[in-house]
Structure 1
Amino acid sequence: MSPSDLYLSFRKLQKPVLAPSKEGFDSKNTYNPAVVLRRGTFVMLYRAEAKGDKVTGRIGLALSKDGINFVRHPEPVVEPEYSWEKAGVEDPRVVRVGKTYYMTYTGYNGETARLCVATSKNLLSWKKHGVIFDEFPFEKNGRLNWTKSGAILTEKMKSGPFKGRYIMYFGDSSIWLARSKDLLHWEYEARPILKPRGHLVEPGPPPVLTDEGILLIHNEAFWRDEGLTYTVQEALFDREDPRKLLWRSKKPILEPEFEWERKGWVSNVVFAESLVEKDGRGYLYYGGADRYVGLATSVEHS
């Protein structure tokens, strides 16, 4: 069985579920969201950029009962505060463990994109815990300490070399693995566990533990005739040793098709960061052309 059979296939909605507002902090771009279910409500935390503003990201909040029609909170819930994120807070991924929500996000200082973590009890007010890795000795864009993004498995490993630890897939360019006792302090494995087949590879939504293994939906960029193109792919890792790759998709599960995915702030981009399951259906949320939020829902095979 391939991972495609686990979440089946996905069908996109033809129109975005979130687009920039006419004015305000999300008037230029709204994209790359984290979505979680809270008491039956879809809560979206999305990257927002304002017209005429050099900040590369604030994080806004929107609510929906059906996962399609969202109502926005009027102000951002996370904004740049510290030196390591002075240029932007970007691309959140959110998981719930116990009664606490953990957000991994990108802190950008104008030069280096670093992986950060924050916590919340209500998804509205967030406590920042800073940069996860003080040092990371692998270069990206000619810079060290470029760690960017992280996707956390919400269950501790029950056996194998990481027994009793949480794990996280992180990075872009390649994907690395990290382990933690408390979800705040992390140690990384020096060797990447997934390398790019094209330009880069980056984690997508939080990984899913299945009977067959750990399913990681991720993003890969390739050079095509139309230029650099971002697609959404799948990989399956071993349940006991999450470094061990068992399977990798040969074709994208999502790729740019619609006009609003092909043309935007960055053209030819679909970029997934959130997978929600409700009533047996998977809701895969993604950024389209770095301007919109799109949705693809799982479809049963006939």
Structure 2
Amino acid sequence: MRKNWTTIRVAALLLLSLNCFAQKTENRLPDWALGGFVRSEAIDPIISPNKNSRFLDPVSKKQVAWEANDTFNPGAAIKNGKIVVLYRAEDLYGIGIGFRTSRLGYAESADGIHYTRRPKPVLYPANDVAKKYEWPGGCEDPRVAVTANGTYVVFYTEWNRDVPRLGVAHSRDLIHWKKYGPIFRKAYNGKFFNIASKSASILTQVVNGKQIIIKTHGKYWLYWGEHHVYAATSTDLINWSPLVDANGELEELMSPREGYFDSDLTECGPPALMTDKGIILFYNGKNKGGAGRDTRFNANSYCAGQALFNRDDPSKNITRLDLPFLRPMKPFEKSGQYVNGTVFIEGMAYFKKKWYLYYGCADSRVAVAVYDPAHPAPPDPATDN
């Protein structure tokens, strides 16, 4: 009997400690994480819809207001000493997220804050090899990085309103792109060609002051996935082979956690970063809407997290943040097309020794937050109180 009571007491204490841990409110970043990131209070959001932009759509043969409804979910890269943001823009023709046509717009900045936009999109559905994967839904949610020789690589969701697939395109100037179609088309005799795939974060590193795509163990490495975090490798930055387990199924490297901000989804964000401490994967955690959600955050909200993976074995997850480092706090982050609140991180650029993080706000706007390693700031607080 004494043994049973001891077991019960230990279990009760363990449950209490876990509950207290899960509900902590003080937010401090460990030494391996980047941040905190400070919002640009004076000008955010930096990109908003423009109803005056017109574009002759090559598929419908009509002039469309291509960025009139929403502008959000950006990628980012450095070109000629400036930051370029590629942002997702939805037109007016449809109702609801994913039921309009998305195209990628181009915005350029000398300071990372004030942007000049091109009047026409730079990546969009056309009468090309990718049309059957991209029309009528479009090109969504870009993540972009650059190789050491100056080739820009963008991963984006090709959405034909049937199956979302990760697509890839290359460019030398971020304006003119060569599409290569779905990245899993050839691997394992097409086994993963027709699965839903989204959100690709390629491995990068800062080398001589420039963030570039790198290889590990002789291959390029990609984290990807919306519900779970998966991985894939490539030798040519075009064709990718997903990491599989002993049964030939996708290997899950990281998954949602009950009671945390990422209780529903762990969706990959900007390019992953090789550091002295390990590989940092920046990701978007979605909170559940019901049982199992983190009660400190709004149901179904998206917050930003960081996870640490092993330098020598990129498939091995070491740890992750228990609290988001960025969460919906501003009015434009809490309200918009996505009513539950969103900071959706996709673009990050190393610029003038600072990190510029670009994110979508409630699926409606683009904002920026900056981390200055010389003057670190705290992450977002866990609660508003």
* 1:6 shift after superposition: 4.8
Deviations 1:161-184, CA, capped at 9 Å, x for gaps: xx1011000111111010111111
Could you tell me which residue of structure 2 aligns to residue 165 of structure 1? 219
Could you tell me which residue of structure 1 aligns to residue 119 of structure 2? 74
Matched, 1:295 2:344: no
Could you tell me which residue of structure 2 aligns to residue 178 of structure 1? 232
Identity %: 36
Amino acid aligned to 1:44: V
* 1:276 shift after superposition: 1.0
Deviations 1:100-124, CA, capped at 9 Å, x for gaps: 1111000011122110000011110
CA contact (8 A) 2:145 2:153 kept: yes
Structure with higher Rg: it is: 2
* 1:94 shift after superposition: 0.8
* Closer, same or farther: CA 39–265 of 1 in aligned 2, 3 Å: same
Amino acid aligned to 1:66: D
Give the distance between the partners of 2:230 and 2:306, measured in 1 at CA: 16
Could you tell me which residue of structure 2 aligns to residue 96 of structure 1? 146
Amino acid aligned to 1:105: Y
Could you tell me which residue of structure 1 aligns to residue 199 of structure 2? 149
CA contact (8 A) 2:165 2:196 kept: yes
Give the distance between the partners of 1:230 and 1:2, measured in 2 at CA: 19
Cα RMSD between the aligned structures?
A: 1.9
Give the distance between the partners of 1:285 and 1:3, measured in 2 at CA: 22
Could you tell me which residue of structure 1 aligns to residue 21 of structure 2? none
Give the distance between the partners of 2:327 and 2:191, measured in 1 at CA: 31
Amino acid aligned to 2:141: D
Give the distance between the partners of 2:361 and 2:177, measured in 1 at CA: 26
Give the distance between the partners of 2:30 and 2:252, measured in 1 at CA: 21
After superposition, where does 1:11-30 map in structure 2 within 5 Å?
Answer: 11-14=38-41, 15-23=44-52, 24-30=65-71
Could you tell me which residue of structure 2 aligns to residue 37 of structure 1? 78
Per residue, is there more strand in 1 or in 2?
A: 1
SS, match of residue 261 in structure 1: helix
State the number of aligned residues.
292
* 1:4 shift after superposition: 5.5
CA contact (8 A) 2:92 2:100 kept: no
SS, match of residue 286 in structure 1: strand
Could you tell me which residue of structure 1 aligns to residue 348 of structure 2? 275
CA contact (8 A) 1:3 1:215 kept: no
CA contact (8 A) 1:136 1:146 kept: no
Could you tell me which residue of structure 1 aligns to residue 159 of structure 2? 108
TM-score (norm 2): 0.72
Matched, 1:192 2:233: no
Question: Any stretches of 5+ residues in structure 2 without a counterpart?
Answer: 1-27, 53-64, 204-212, 245-250, 258-262, 290-294, 378-385
TM-score (norm 1): 0.92
CA contact (8 A) 2:93 2:100 kept: no
SS, match of residue 228 in structure 1: coil
Could you tell me which residue of structure 2 aligns to residue 207 of structure 1? 272
Give the distance between the partners of 1:37 and 1:3, measured in 2 at CA: 28
Q: Which moved more, 1:79-88 or 1:217-226?
A: 217-226
Deviations 1:265-294, CA, capped at 9 Å, x for gaps: 112111001111122211111000000001
